[in-house]
């Protein structure tokens, strides 16, 4: 059984069509302009292909794994085929399990719940909170921010050499930074982890939308990512990798679907036999549309060709970096230096500007959507800004008023759906704001910088 999908014949040089590409937004100075969505690192717009595929399936929506009717059987096939499609996209090993979750955060919390007793976890302070915080109940070693890829590997090797060599251990590392966009030496870190008897999980939330991710080639034990960053924003995510820890752990959620057999005990209680497949951690009615949307996005990216997508994105990266480099007041944030390979994620600060004020002006004066704050990566941004750990600063809601110093930065991010015109307009807007100032007055309201009412 299958559902017809809309054919996608994309030009190799053009951005992939996304929803919202023709949306217009009002400017505070009057009139409207086509919205430049440059906050892909938070949530990328849905590919038109994904939306069309989901719309084609929607009339056939039915219960999954629970019904004998045609629509239920169709939906079950769709859900399990989506699992196979995503596993192929990730180049999983034959005995790997792929669990559908809600997000990267959900995936890594699931894995944290599945850790063996007395497991040691090693994680760099540079991680996004989704991969920095789930390990609170384990023995965690937080590693200082490295300044080169080689230093990252050496730091991990030293930490692992000093660990208890007889207990289980897990390394958690990002594939691409959500702050700087820089690529991490995942293959080398995996080799270091395995050489010291540890396993490794890859947070691919910012990597999978921009580069091919091969579980086998990178030799990672698990990979996690979110649909809403992979052009499939329907509250879905993936955890894929080795099955043994997942099969040995208690279900992440207890309920129907995770259980294979439930009986009453003589003492009046309930005895449960749990599934050993991925269903063990997918209790409840699964998000079939979310899973299908991820699979659709995987197919679209694969068919477009990552070589083509990477080449085009690097063209945009260089265009933005070259434009910002011509503005002396702008400082781009980086761990590994200007020559480090990176995806379409760039963070910066502007001398004399509160970053929240600058981002608000980009939006209201120019119709450009970026992100400001600490990007849910507080330790990393504090390190890059050279701030004291106690300096006031919040994730996306700085307290400082326009013109006041605040602990936050500005992030521009883009991808397969971004037209050249959007990044060109962004560079022009940054230059004009630095040179001429904002066209409107701004004030702080509920912790955010907003246009003042005239």
d(CA 174, CA 152): 12
Which of 172, 376, 395, 449 is flagged as catalytic?
A: 376
Q: Which of 133, 193, 131 is nearest to 168 (CA)?
A: 193
Using alpha carbons, list the distances in angstroms from residue 310 to 203, 211, 372. 19, 7, 25
Cβ-Cβ contacts under 8 Å for 448 (sequence gap 6 or more): 356, 360, 397
How far CA 214 is from CA of 87, 114, 221, in Å, comes to: 10, 23, 11
Instruction: Round to whole Å and give the CA distance between 391 and 350.
Output: 18
> Active site includes 376?
yes
Q: Which residues pair with 141 in a beta bridge?
A: 122
Residue 96 neighbours by CB under 8 Å, 6+ apart: 87, 215, 240, 241, 242, 243
Interacting residues of 270 by C-beta distance below 8 A, sequence separation 6+: 262, 263, 264
The per-residue DSSP string of 386-404 comes to: T--TTS---SS---PPTTS
In the beta sheet, which residues pair with residue 223? 202, 240
**Torsion of Cα atoms, 131 then 134 then 135 then 137, to 10°:** 170
Alpha-carbon Rg for the chain, nearest whole angstrom, is 23
Q: What is the biggest distance separating any 2 CA atoms in the chain, rounded to whole angstroms?
A: 79
List alpha helices for 169-305, DSSP H: 186-195, 215-218, 244-248, 288-304
Task: Give the number of other CB atoms < 10 A from CB of residue 309.
Answer: 21
Catalytic center residues? 376
């Amino acid at each position: 059984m299958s559902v017809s999908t809309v054919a996608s014949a994309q030009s190799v040089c053009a951005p992939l069509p996304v929803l919202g590409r023709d949306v217009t937004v009002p400017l505070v100075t009057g009139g409207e302009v086509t919205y430049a969505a440059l906050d892909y690192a938070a949530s990328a717009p849905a590919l038109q292909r994904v939306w069309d595929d989901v719309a084609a399936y929607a009339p056939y929506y039915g219960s999954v794994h629970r019904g004998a009717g045609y629509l239920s059987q169709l939906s079950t096939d769709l859900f399990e085929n989506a699992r196979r499609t995503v596993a192929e996209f990730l180049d999983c090993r034959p005995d790997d399990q792929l669990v559908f979750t809600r997000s990267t955060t959900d995936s890594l919390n699931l894995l944290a719940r599945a850790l063996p007793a007395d497991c040691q976890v090693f994680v760099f302070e540079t991680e996004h909170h989704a991969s920095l915080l789930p390990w609170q109940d384990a023995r965690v070693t937080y590693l200082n921010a490295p300044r080169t890829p080689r230093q990252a590997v050496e730091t991990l090797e030293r930490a692992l050499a000093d660990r208890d060599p007889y207990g289980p251990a897990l390394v958690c590392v990002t594939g691409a930074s959500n702050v700087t966009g820089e690529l991490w030496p995942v293959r080398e870190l995996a080799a270091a982890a395995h050489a010291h008897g540890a396993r490794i999980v890859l947070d691919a939330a910012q990597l999978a939308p921009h580069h091919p991710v091969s579980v086998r080639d990178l030799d990672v034990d698990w990979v996690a990512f979110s649909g809403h960053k992979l052009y499939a924003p329907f509250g879905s995510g993936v955890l894929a990798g080795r099955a043994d820890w997942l099969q040995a752990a208690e279900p992440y959620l207890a309920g129907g679907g995770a259980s294979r057999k439930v009986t009453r005990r003589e003492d009046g209680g309930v005895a449960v036999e749990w599934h050993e497949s991925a269903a063990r951690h997918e209790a409840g009615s699964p998000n079939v549309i979310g899973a299908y949307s991820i699979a659709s996005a995987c197919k679209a990216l694969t068919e477009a060709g990552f070589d083509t997508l990477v080449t085009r994105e690097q063209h945009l990266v260089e265009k933005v970096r070259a434009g910002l480099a011509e503005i002396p007041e702008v400082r781009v944030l980086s761990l590994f230096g200007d020559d480090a390979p990176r995806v379409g994620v760039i963070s910066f600060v502007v001398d004399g500007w509160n970053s929240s004020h600058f981002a608000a002006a980009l939006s209201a004066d120019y119709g450009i959507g970026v992100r400001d704050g600490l990007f849910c990566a507080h330790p990393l941004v504090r390190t890059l800004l050279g701030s004291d750990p106690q300096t006031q600063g919040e994730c996306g809601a700085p307290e400082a008023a326009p013109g006041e110093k605040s602990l936050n930065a500005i992030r521009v991010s883009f991808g397969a759906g971004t037209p050249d015109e959007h990044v060109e307009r962004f560079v022009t807007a940054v230059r004009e704001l630095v040179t001429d100032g904002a066209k409107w007055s701004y004030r702080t309201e509920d912790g955010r910088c907003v246009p003042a009412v005239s």
